[in-house]
Amino acid sequence: MNILVINCGSSSLKFQLIDSESEKVIAKGLCERIGIEGSRIVYQKPGADKKITEAPMQDHKAAIGMVIDALTDGQDGVVKHLSEIGAVGHRIVHGGEKFASSTKIDDTVLAAIEECSELAPLHNPANLIGIRACAELMPGTPMVAVFDTAFHQTMPEEAYLYGIPYRYYEKDKIRRYGFHGTSHSYVSKRAAEVIGEDIHKLKLIVCHLGNGASVSAVKYGESVDTSMGLTPLEGLIMGTRSGDLDPAIVEFIAHKEGMTLEEVMRVLNKESGVLGLSGGFSSDFRDLEDSYHAGKPEGTRAMKAFAYRVAKYIGAYTAAMNGVDGICFTAGLGENSPLIREMVCGYLGYLGVSLDEEQNAKRGEDLIVSTADSKTKILVIPTNEELAIARETYALVK
Ligand code: AMP
């Protein structure tokens, strides 16, 4: 069955058409600048050049219309008719406590996702627009919602509660939810396969290190803790997000700089992380690595602080699970940077970690990059959130 995977952002829409049997990507692409001047669709078939078409898209419905046109196009399309698309899988950022797994979309589910919008005001409304646009343009095609938060719903209370009055949890549902769940789930399952052991016998730590970054503790196949919280701002130092900090800093900056709460939150979300630490030099780790190798302070302090924070979380999650069998690196940075893996693993001597330099220099495939006698295994597992969404979707509609 052909599954269309849709990931709707506020002004962008990523898509992939995946054959559920071969699990191959049939076509993929991206609509950019939706609702803004200069909107365009980038469309690509495997092995072919990208086709970029500039066209006005006033909203997400127009964007999905363009995606359907591209997929069914007589010349460059991959299906003859819409009926060849068996189902649509939507990535939904926040499922709150309502969704502990993926679910087929109906009116009740739509209303529940809407209720979760309060927790993710930038993301869920865009996701909902995507669902509604597909429902209009592809009537009768089953749709599935796959939530970023669902995998972490197995966290115990002591991991998800904050040390604030309990009434805020009871009344407003303020708690740790965690994100990147589809990736943490996919990578931990794949890691168990690569190790060759039943996931229900393994204690794994997954480090999803991209522009957004999070760590999770996956004990016997279930997430028991993760570094992102109520929102994706908590935890690791990220590209532009601060991660953990003393909450009093918010008030301190607001007073000192004469800023509103919204302005301070903008600084913490958009101007902080390695971008902020490098004095505004770059949020891209390729630039930071160049700076680090050149011995310049901007990149060096940002990379060191980033790696230190990852190592601290690994220590915390090792304690939370009373041990760890494997530590997995994934996402843009985790998959592609031997240096960051080396810097993080430099802290893990107490876990008997020994990196295999030759293996660690490779990229692009599932790898064990620790030596055969390393007490804890270090793995690189390329994440594939789209494939995970397609699998979940197929499982619910087949
Ligand atoms: P993602 O959010 O998963 O797409 O990851 C984006 C991050 O991965 C950016 O900070 C990139 O700089 C980083 N990244 C991608 N490729 C490399 C590479 N070859 N070396 C170091 N960092 C990389």
- Taking only the tens place, the pLDDT of each residue in 219-278 is 999 999 999 999 999 999 999 999 999 999 999 999 999 999 999 999 999 999 999 999
CA of 119 to the centre of ligand 1 (A): 28
Q: For residue 211, which atom of ligand 1 is closest to its CA?
A: 2
Does the pLDDT of residue 118 top 90, yes or no? no
Spatial distance between the Cα atoms of 70 and 51, rounded to a whole number of angstroms: 10
Instruction: For residues 67-96, give the mean pLDDT.
Output: 95
Q: The sheet that has 2-8: what strands, in order across it?
A: 51-54, 40-44, 25-32, 13-19, 2-8, 85-92, 143-147, 103-104
CA of 206 to the centre of ligand 1 (A): 17
Q: Which residues contact 161 (CB under 8 A, 6 or more apart)?
A: 169, 175, 176
Regarding pTM above 0.85, the answer is yes
Question: Ligand 1: residues whose CB is within 6 Å?
Answer: 210-211, 239, 284-286, 289, 331-333, 336-337
Does the pLDDT of residue 122 top 90, yes or no? no
- The active-site residue out of 19, 49, 107, 148 is 148
Judge contact between 240 and 275, C-beta under 8 A: yes
Pairing of strands 51-54, 40-44: antiparallel
- The per-residue pLDDT for 120 is 86
User: 76 falls in which pLDDT band (50, 70, 90)?
Assistant: very high
CA of 275 to the centre of ligand 1 (A): 14
Does the pLDDT of residue 67 top 90, yes or no? yes
3-state secondary structure of 94: coil
Catalytic status, residue 148: yes
Residue nearest to atom 19 of ligand 1 (CA): 336
Spatial distance between the Cα atoms of 39 and 11, rounded to a whole number of angstroms: 9
Instruction: For residues 150-161, give the mean pLDDT.
Output: 98
Tokens (6 digits) for 189:
């399952």
User: 119 falls in which pLDDT band (50, 70, 90)?
Assistant: confident
Tell me: the pLDDT tens digits for 98-114? 999 999 999 999 999 99
Q: The sheet that has 326-330: what strands, in order across it?
A: 222-226, 213-219, 203-209, 326-330, 377-380, 367-368
**197, 200, 214, 195: which is closest to 330 by C-alpha?**
214
Which of 285, 342, 360 has most ligand 1 atoms within 8 Å of CB, for mutation?
285
Q: Give Cα 325 distance to the centre of its chain.
A: 23
- The per-residue pLDDT for 21 is 97
Which of 180, 209, 286, 380 has most ligand 1 atoms within 8 Å of CB, for mutation?
286
Alpha helices in the chain (DSSP H): 60-72, 107-115, 124-137, 157-160, 166-172, 181-195, 248-257, 261-270, 273-277, 285-293, 297-321, 331-336, 338-345, 357-360, 385-397
CA of 332 to the centre of ligand 1 (A): 4
Query: Domains along the chain?
Result: 2-147 (3.30.420.40), 198-380 (3.30.420.40)
User: 68 falls in which pLDDT band (50, 70, 90)?
Assistant: very high
Spatial distance between the Cα atoms of 85 and 305, rounded to a whole number of angstroms: 46
